Chains A and B, each alone.
Chain A
Amino acid sequence: MIKIEDRLSLLNYKIDKSYEHITINPSICETCPDHFCTFACPAKCYTLIDEKLNFKYEDCVECGTCDTACSHGSVAWTNTKGGHGVKYKFG
């Protein structure tokens, strides 16, 4: 089994330092009973660190899964801008 971190390291990103295309509402995540996002997100952008939800947009592959996965209204999802974000070689 290849670790997800190693698989993600194969990808090319043009990271937008001035715009986070996905944001979460920490106060909603704090009381979340399931944290399904941590299992659903295929890029492991959502992790629990000391039972606190941690989100990083930089590894996002822009699939939109988390927006569907979160049934508590915490995820605000927008497209990346200006050609930023993931750039596949094969697709």
Chain B
Amino acid sequence: MSEFDVIVVGAGPAGASAAIRLASNKVNVLLVDRADPPGSKNVSGGVLWGDSLSQVIPDWEKSNMLERYVEAKGVTFLTKDSKISIDFRSKKFGEYKSGYTVLRTKFDAWLAKKAKDAGAMVVSGVTVDKLAMKDGKVIGVEQSGETITSDSVILAEGANSRVAYDSGIKKKPEDQKIALGVKEVIKLPEKTITERFGLTSPKMGFASEYVLGFLDGGVKAGGFLYTNRESISIGAVISMGDLRKNNQTYSFNVIEQFKDHPFIAPLIQDGRVEEYSAHLVPEGGMSVDSVYGNGYMIAGDTAGLTFSNGLVLQGMNYAVVSGILAADSFMERKSKGGDMNFENYQKNLENTFVLRDMNNFRGLDQVTWSESIHSTIPAIAEDAMLNIFSENGNPKKHLSQIVISSALKQKDKRKDLAVDLYRMLRRM
């Protein structure tokens, strides 16, 4: 007889969602987090996109743990001197769900409390060392030489997946499967943020992703800037492969270059940096050979369930859905008295956007981290815009002529551009 039906390792959106789902269905569940309070080592951008959380917390949108609702979404290219951006704002974000900005320490502690309220046992400040195995089956977890037993384990420990590595169920990531996220939280008055970003109320927020095409040494990185109630979350997601190739740029300085850009600096002016943080970001889809095995399932960042196409950066919503499905898959098996080898979890994931997105957009990271996106296209756009929006006394040209002549200036890169555009059309 096991001590628990399920042990969930990691109190982030994946683990907490799984625990809430299980506990609400009278499953005997232990949620264990190595941070104390739970969630206080968790970091993300972060916008929680979509409405997946309503499956476990129906009134989650009423929570005062949410910062601002995204009514303005940006996608921006930054070159050394210019900013080229889409700033999409819509009243229809009332009916079409966008997302809420969140600060994870507060938000994740709240999720863990929801799990506790639902009946889960929540333990914090306890580090699981690895999965406990017997006869090729996971029978619980090991912690300081002791085994805590359970019928199954849901592993949701995040991108830096030590338990998975040390249990031999996940290989350490190659450079192209991981990026480094570096972030700062910058304090500003609520009113200043609302005014500065042209927001319609203090409850409404702005979220933008950036292509940082101007960094020293050609390091490739994406940027993000999200408005919280009384702070701004700003950060850079740096390609590990490029940083290695470059080998002279300090990761912690990339975010400062972003902040110092002439069109970013005014947005954070007079703000006080309150916190600095860093976290790994899984890239390029699933990062494990299998999301399940005998007696365990893998959810969220640990499984590499994140999505980025340059226009959006998403992870928490995939985490929530995978956590809920892992819980459901356990209950499915339990009710049928079947074994604890969870191929039903894999199938359940395949039936949702989670694995469909991973499959449909496989290889997209080759585009998002390409030279074309980070330098060629921004250079063409900048040159074309300068031609279109300036007056130099010469007769005006047709738009197509301008774009072609701007593109021709990038002639060394035309072949790469053609390949990347083809990939983009196919995979985006």
Contacts and interface: CB of A to CB of B under 8 A. Distances in A.
Contact of A90 (B124, B185, B256): B185
Nearest to A71: B244
Contact of A63 (B247, B260, B280): B280
Interface in A28-55: 34, 36, 38-44
Contacts of B34: 79-81, 83
Contacts of A38: 250
Contacts of A87: 35-36, 40-41
Given A1-B253, A90-B185, A68 B275 contact: no
Interface string B281-300: 00000000000000000000
A90 B278 contact: no
A89 B273 CA distance: 12
Contacts of B372: none
Contacts of B273: 2, 7, 10
A78 interface: yes
B231 A90 contact: yes
Interface stretch (B103-111, B342-350, B414-422): B103-111
B125 to A, nearest CB: 3
Q: Is the interface of B mostly helix, strand, loop or mixed?
A: mixed
Contacts of B160: 62-64, 67
Given A1-B260, A41-B251, A83 B36 contact: yes
Chain A interface: which size bin? 35 or more
Contacts of A64: 159-160, 162, 280
A5 to B, nearest CB: 10
A25 to B, nearest CB: 17
Interface in A59-75: 61-65, 67-69
B382 interface: no
Contacts, number: 135
B240 A39 contact: no
Nearest to B162: A79
Interface string A1-18: 110100110110000000
B199 interface: no
Q: Is the interface of A mostly helix, strand, loop or mixed?
A: loop
Interface string B250-270: 111100100110000000000
B368 interface: no
Interface string B159-193: 11010000000001101001010101100000000
Residue of A1, A39, A85, A90 with most partner-chain B CB within 10 A:
A90
Contact of B41 (A65, A67, A86): A86
A86 B25 CA distance: 34
A67 to B, nearest CB: 7
B275 A39 contact: no
A61 B144 CA distance: 22
Contacts of B127: 79-82
B276 interface: yes
A61 to B, nearest CB: 5
Interface in B61-80: none
Interface of B: 34-36, 39-44, 103-108, 124-127, 144, 159-160, 162, 172-173, 175, 178, 180, 182, 184-185, 231, 233, 240, 243-244, 246-253, 256, 259-260, 273-280
Shortest 9 CB-CB contacts between residues of A and residues of B: A83-B125, A64-B160, A83-B36, A91-B104, A42-B278, A7-B276, A91-B105, A1-B256, A90-B103
Given A88-B40, A88-B41, 7 more contacts: A10-B275, A39-B243, A41-B251, A79-B127, A89-B274, A90-B105, A90-B106
Interface of A: 1-2, 4, 7-8, 10-11, 34, 36, 38-44, 61-65, 67-69, 77-83, 85-91
